[in-house]
């Protein structure tokens, strides 16, 4: 199965030198998931009497190496957003930074999925690039389809953004393309995710911050919530993760200040 996922030739051994690099290019989570599916299938074969034993039982379940994600503190995020204020996509970046949406989810968001009166948006679509085309699709998992609350300041920003979009529509006239999307090009079309990346890269460079992409805003939101003491289940729900295990694997690190506060807080309650 790993060979198929790695697109190796049928019949070739996975542990061949030529294939090892390709197989290891798969993510740890993909390898772990493939192992789980394979072992379950072989367990079924044993139960049906097709195999005497499960050969995968002797193989240790692959682990997932924890890698600390790039994130900024609140002041760093605010600085980058400040340098993106003149961009027509500033509102999209603010929404991502304040809600932890993926860029495709933000760019695929339609006005009829936002209730500005109650301050809630619903994630039901994602916009991505496949080859030379922009494609709208459903979120990958059921957990990705979720309701996300909006801060009052973000609601105000979105109202202003909608007014600006209506002005674009009037200027565009017959050239305007009605998509119903919240974030559009000058003539109403969907926004290429690469354009959003260019905007934040320019803003980050102006802010003197290195190695920042759109996804950095999502990571920064998650880390900020966890370090503020938000329950990990609530963070997982906001991010659309299927379980708190995923959230813990990705964001399971804390700052020195947070760790110190935890130690000091417990010591105080113990009377130390």
Helix and strand numbers, DSSP H then E, in the chain: 12, 5
Distance in angstroms (rounded) separating the CA atoms of residues 184 and 188 = 5
197 falls in which pLDDT band (50, 70, 90)? very high
Rounded average pLDDT over 221-225 = 93
Rounded average pLDDT over 127-134 = 93
Residue 253: count of CB within 10 angstroms of its CB: 16
6 falls in which pLDDT band (50, 70, 90)? very low
Q: What pLDDT is attached to residue 45? A: 87
Distance in angstroms (rounded) separating the CA atoms of residues 198 and 202 = 6
Q: What pLDDT is attached to residue 35? A: 80
Burial of 121 (0-12, 13-18, 19+ CB in 10 A): buried
Q: What pLDDT is attached to residue 245? A: 87
Residue 10 has pLDDT above 50, yes or no: no
User: Half-sphere exposure (CA, 13 Å, Cβ side) for 64?
Assistant: 18
235 falls in which pLDDT band (50, 70, 90)? very high
Distance in angstroms (rounded) separating the CA atoms of residues 28 and 85 = 38
Rounded average pLDDT over 1-24 = 48
75 falls in which pLDDT band (50, 70, 90)? very high
Q: How far is CA 50 from the centre of its chain?
A: 42
Of the candidate ranges 15-24, 100-109, 219-228, 240-249, the one whose mean pLDDT is the lowest: 15-24
Distance in angstroms (rounded) separating the CA atoms of residues 37 and 35 = 6
20 falls in which pLDDT band (50, 70, 90)? very low
225 falls in which pLDDT band (50, 70, 90)? very high
Q: Which percentage of the chain shows pLDDT scores above 70?
A: 82
pTM of the model: 0.74
**DSSP state letter for 142:** G
Contacts of 148 by beta carbon, 8 Å cutoff, 6+ apart: 99, 100, 101, 120, 121, 122, 123, 238
Q: Tell me the C-alpha to C-alpha distance, in Å, between residue 211 and each of 46, 51, 214, 268.
A: 50, 51, 10, 39
Instruction: Supply the angle between the helices 74-82 and 193-207 in degrees, to the nearest 10.
Output: 110
Q: What pLDDT is attached to residue 14? A: 46
Distance in angstroms (rounded) separating the CA atoms of residues 182 and 190 = 9
User: Half-sphere exposure (CA, 13 Å, Cβ side) for 138?
Assistant: 5
Residue 93 has pLDDT above 60, yes or no: yes
Residue 36 has pLDDT above 90, yes or no: no
Q: What is the CATH number of domain 78-251?
A: 1.10.443.10
Distance in angstroms (rounded) separating the CA atoms of residues 52 and 39 = 14
Q: What pLDDT is attached to residue 58? A: 83
Residue 82 has pLDDT above 60, yes or no: yes
Residue predicted with more confidence, 49 or 111: 111
Domain range summary for the chain, segments of one domain joined by +: 2-58, 78-251
């Amino acid at each position: 199965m790993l060979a198929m996922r790695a697109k190796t030739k049928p019949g070739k051994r996975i542990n061949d030198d030529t294939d090892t690099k390709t197989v290891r290019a798969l993510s740890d989570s993909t390898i772990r998931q493939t192992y789980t599916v394979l072992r379950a299938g072989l367990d079924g074969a044993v139960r049906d009497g097709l195999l005497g034993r499960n050969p995968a039982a002797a193989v240790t379940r692959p682990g997932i190496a924890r890698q600390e994600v790039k994130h900024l503190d609140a002041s760093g995020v605010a600085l980058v957003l400040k340098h993106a204020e003149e961009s027509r996509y500033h509102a999209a970046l603010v929404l991502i930074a304040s809600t932890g949406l993926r860029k495709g989810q933000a760019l695929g968001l339609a006005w009829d999925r936002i209730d500005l009166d109650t301050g809630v948006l619903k994630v039901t679509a994602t916009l991505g690039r496949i080859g030379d085309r922009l494609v709208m699709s459903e979120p990958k998992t059921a957990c990705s389809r979720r309701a996300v609350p909006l801060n009052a300041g973000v609601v105000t920003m979105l109202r202003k953004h909608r007014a600006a979009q209506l002005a674009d529509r009037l200027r565009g006239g017959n050239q305007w393309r009605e998509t119903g999307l919240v974030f559009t090009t000058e003539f109403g079309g969907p926004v290429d995710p690469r354009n959003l990346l260019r905007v934040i890269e320019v803003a980050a460079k102006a802010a003197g911050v290195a190695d920042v992409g759109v996804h950095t805003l999502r990571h920064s939101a998650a880390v900020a919530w966890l370090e503020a003491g938000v329950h990990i289940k609530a963070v997982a729900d906001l991010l659309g993760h299927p379980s708190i295990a995923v959230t813990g694997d990705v964001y399971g690190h804390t700052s020195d200040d947070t760790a110190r506060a935890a130690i000091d807080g417990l010591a105080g309650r113990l009377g130390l």
